């Protein structure tokens, strides 16, 4: 069994994989340790197809957790949620991580999104500006294979790009085009094609072009969408060693408070110790702070990297509210990828001093499964039932409002008294979306959603309750980044302030959420971390 490596990467999701490959390309020795199993795409597709209709909307139902690597899963107690709102992430602990079931949506932050404190007097500023991040976004878009629009008016953010997208954007279906036209002519809002990690009209990175299987969540059956599992064979070909079913439960410190080893349990609950020179913990925004807290020792009584007491605090997401309404004219959503367009311009403005920004996503999931209950309850039979299914599928729209959220130290991950299968403390999260978000729902989002519904001729719009928010499953904030070691966990390179050879890249490091999905920002930060690590390893 491998017992040492120059670089140890814990986690095989997109962040860990990108860093591992960067290190391998630089000639470093890399060991990757994954808590969960390594599975085939075909197995996940069959899992999905064999779910009853009522379980199919659940993004994690196709990914049953291993006993030793539990993750949030229906019927399984793993993550505790306390506080006024329900914290309900859907990360999975599988080789390849949660990009298995992401939609592939790849919005960049805007310059303003990174300067909330200085511009609007709320939240935190990032440790660097957009111009610093821009080249790493470019690297991310090429590594993952992100398609996006060439028309500057359709790009996000709306500013000159330093590099074009590597692929043209995926076409909108006729229904999405119709929605786009209605938004523009009736509301003056621009519904733009989503930049997404999906192959558009061509193969890319040894993966095929998208052919509209409309199942990006929970799994792309053909691998047209990037997920980190698609990169693991390549990493091994470059020399990486990947241990799966190996649960890192302790990070060990040594002289100078440097990290000297990690300890993991195999599936037989046998413990192993692996030493290294450089350590990357990229387990996601829940499991990474959990591991830091579990690893408390005499040098670090509050947990690893936690001299600031910020590990586990500032947990963030994109709280969301969904609107489903029926139109009189057919829109026929469901052709193409499951998320293909959205309205981003509602996420910017001086109003952010007072309430959260919001982004409206036009979901493009085939509507059949969602309207089934309603159609069957209609009491219709025969041709009338067929016509009802056709009518509801064609005229049912689902628009989701995704809010930004401010870092609040009270939104905190701690260790539960409850233990998991290995005897490790389960994560517990206190969760309150906050008045900043609630105000936005009442004063901004609901009125906008109603205008959108009326514009498309909806007959049954219902405002969302200002008390009810679901999570977008975008885990951010728990190991927050900053220049001040007293108020943050990691520096601009996602390196911990407390340990010179420990990196905690990923959503946990993000200092603001904005409204767009977090993955490519996490990945861009991973490239920054990888550069710093390689530089350190090379003695630069």
Partner 1 sequence: MLASAMPSFTFAATQDIESRFMGASQLLVNHDLSPAVGARIAAFAQASYPNLGDMLDRITETAATRGASRVEDFFDAIPEGELRDFAFWVISAWYTGSSSGDRDATLFTYEEALLYQPTIDMVPIPTFGFSAPNAWGNDLYPLTDLPRF
Catalog residues that contact partner 1 under the rule CB under 8 A: 45, 48-55, 58, 61, 74, 170-175, 177-178, 199-202, 209-215, 219, 221-222, 330-332, 334-336, 365-369, 372-373, 375-376, 379, 381-387, 389-391, 393-395
SS (H, E, C) 235-267: HHHCCCEEECCCEEEEEEECHHHCEEEEEEECC
Q: How far apart are CA 474 and CA 518, in angstroms?
A: 6
Instruction: For residue 295, give the nearest of 10, 3, 1 by alpha carbon.
Output: 10
Q: What is the dihedral of CA 400, 401, 406, 410, to 10 degrees?
A: -60
The tokens describing 207, both together, are 């993966």
Q: How far apart are CA 124 and CA 484, in angstroms?
A: 12
Find residue 399's DSSP bridge partners: 323, 362
3-state SS, residue 18? helix
Residue with Cβ nearer partner 1 (376 or 500) = 376
Least distance between partner 1 and beta carbon 211 (Å): 4
Kindly list the distances between the CA atom of residue 505 and the CA atoms of 296, 338, 438, in Å, as whole numbers in the listed order: 20, 28, 30
Residue that has been written with the tokens 């954007």 in this structure: 169
The DSSP output letter for 108 is P
Residue 150 CB burial class (10 angstroms; 0-12, 13-18, ≥19): exposed
Residue with Cβ nearer partner 1 (187 or 385) = 385
Residue with Cβ nearer partner 1 (201 or 254) = 201
Residue with Cβ nearer partner 1 (210 or 305) = 210
Residue with Cβ nearer partner 1 (188 or 382) = 382
Q: What is the dihedral of CA 106, 112, 117, 123, to 10 degrees?
A: -20
Cβ-contact 276, 7 below 8 angstroms: yes
Instruction: For residue 394, give the nearest of 330, 440, 452 by alpha carbon.
Output: 330
Q: How far apart are CA 214 and CA 193, in angstroms?
A: 16
The tokens describing 480, both together, are 């927050």
CA-based max dimension of the chain: 76
The tokens describing 130, both together, are 């957009």
Residue with Cβ nearer partner 1 (193 or 407) = 193
Bridge-based pairing state of the strands 241-243 and 30-33: parallel
CB atoms within 10 A of CB 27: 11
Least distance between partner 1 and beta carbon 270 (Å): 35
Residue with Cβ nearer partner 1 (47 or 82) = 47
Bridge-based pairing state of the strands 259-265 and 271-281: antiparallel
Least distance between partner 1 and beta carbon 220 (Å): 9
* Residue 474 among the catalytic residues: yes
Residue with Cβ nearer partner 1 (28 or 172) = 172
Residue with Cβ nearer partner 1 (301 or 379) = 379
Least distance between partner 1 and beta carbon 363 (Å): 13
Instruction: For residue 176, give the H/E element and its range.
Output: helix 174-182
Residue 252 CB burial class (10 angstroms; 0-12, 13-18, ≥19): middle
Find residue 398's DSSP bridge partners: 324
Least distance between partner 1 and beta carbon 182 (Å): 13
Residue with Cβ nearer partner 1 (65 or 312) = 65
Least distance between partner 1 and beta carbon 95 (Å): 21
Least distance between partner 1 and beta carbon 426 (Å): 23
Least distance between partner 1 and beta carbon 72 (Å): 15
Least distance between partner 1 and beta carbon 387 (Å): 7
CB atoms within 10 A of CB 459: 11
Q: Which of 278, 355, 474, 499 is catalytic?
A: 474
Rg (CA), the chain: 23
Note if the bond before 58 is cis, omega within 30 degrees. no
3-state SS, residue 48? helix
Least distance between partner 1 and beta carbon 335 (Å): 4
Residues belonging to the active site: 474
């Amino acid at each position: 069994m491998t017992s040492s490596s120059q670089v140890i990467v814990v986690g095989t999701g997109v962040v860990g994989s990108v860093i591992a490959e960067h290190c391998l390309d630089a000639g470093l020795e890399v060991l990757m340790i994954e808590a969960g199993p390594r599975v085939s795409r075909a197995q996940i597709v069959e899992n999905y197809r064999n779910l009853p209709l009522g379980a199919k909307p659940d993004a994690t139902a196709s990914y049953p957790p291993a006993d030793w690597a539990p993750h949030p899963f229906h019927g399984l107690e793993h993550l505790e949620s306390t506080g006024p709102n329900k914290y309900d992430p859907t990360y999975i602990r599988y080789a390849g991580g949660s990009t298995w079931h992401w939609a592939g949506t790849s919005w960049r932050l805007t310059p303003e999104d990174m300067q909330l404190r200085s511009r609007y007097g709320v939240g935190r500023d990032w440790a660097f500006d957009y111009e610093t991040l821009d080249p790493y976004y470019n690297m991310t878009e090429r590594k993952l294979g992100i398609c996006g629009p060439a028309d500057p008016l359709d790009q996000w953010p709306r500013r000159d790009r330093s590099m074009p997208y590597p692929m043209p954007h995926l076409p909108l279906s006729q229904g999405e085009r119709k929605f786009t036209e209605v938004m523009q002519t009736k509301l003056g809002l621009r519904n733009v094609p989503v930049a997404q990690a999906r192959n558009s009209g061509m193969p890319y990175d040894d993966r095929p072009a998208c052919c509209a299987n409309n199942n990006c969540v929970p799994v792309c059956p053909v691998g047209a969408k990037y997920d980190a599992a698609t990169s693991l064979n390549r990493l091994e070909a470059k020399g990486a060693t990947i241990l799966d079913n190996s649960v890192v439960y302790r990070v060990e410190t040594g002289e100078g408070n440097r990290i000297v080893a990690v300890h993991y349990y195999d599936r037989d609950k046998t413990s192993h110790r692996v030493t290294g020179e450089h350590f990357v913990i990229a387990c996601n925004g829940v499991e990474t702070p959990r591991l830091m807290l579990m690893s408390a020792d005499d040098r670090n009584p509050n947990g690893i990297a936690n001299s600031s007491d910020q590990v586990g605090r500032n947990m963030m997401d994109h709280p969301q509210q969904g609107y489903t309404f029926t139109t009189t004219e057919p829109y026929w959503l469901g052709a193409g990828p499951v998320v293909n367009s959205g309205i981003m311009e509602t996420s910017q403005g001086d109003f952010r001093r007072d309430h959260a920004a919001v982004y409206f996503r036009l979901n493009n999931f085939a509507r059949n499964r969602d309207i089934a209950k309603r159609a069957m309850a209609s009491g219709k039979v025969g041709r009338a039932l067929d016509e009802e299914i056709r009518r509801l599928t064609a005229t049912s729209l689902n628009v989701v409002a995704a809010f930004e959220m401010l870092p609040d130290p009270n939104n905190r991950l701690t260790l539960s008294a409850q233990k998991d299968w290995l005897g490790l403390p389960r994560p517990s999260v206190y969760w309150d979306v906050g008045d900043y978000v609630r105000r936005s729902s009442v004063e901004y989002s609901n009125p906008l959603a109603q205008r959108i519904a009326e514009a498309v001729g909806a007959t049954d719009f219902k405002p969302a309750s200002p008390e009810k928010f679901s999570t977008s499953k975008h885990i951010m904030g728990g190991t927050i980044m900053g220049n001040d070691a007293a108020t943050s966990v990691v520096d601009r390179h996602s390196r911990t302030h407390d340990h010179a050879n420990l990196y905690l890249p990923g959503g946990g490091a993000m200092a603001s959420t904005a409204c767009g999905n977090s993955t490519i920002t996490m990945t861009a930060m991973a490239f920054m971390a990888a550069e710093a690590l390689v530089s350190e390893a090379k003695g630069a």
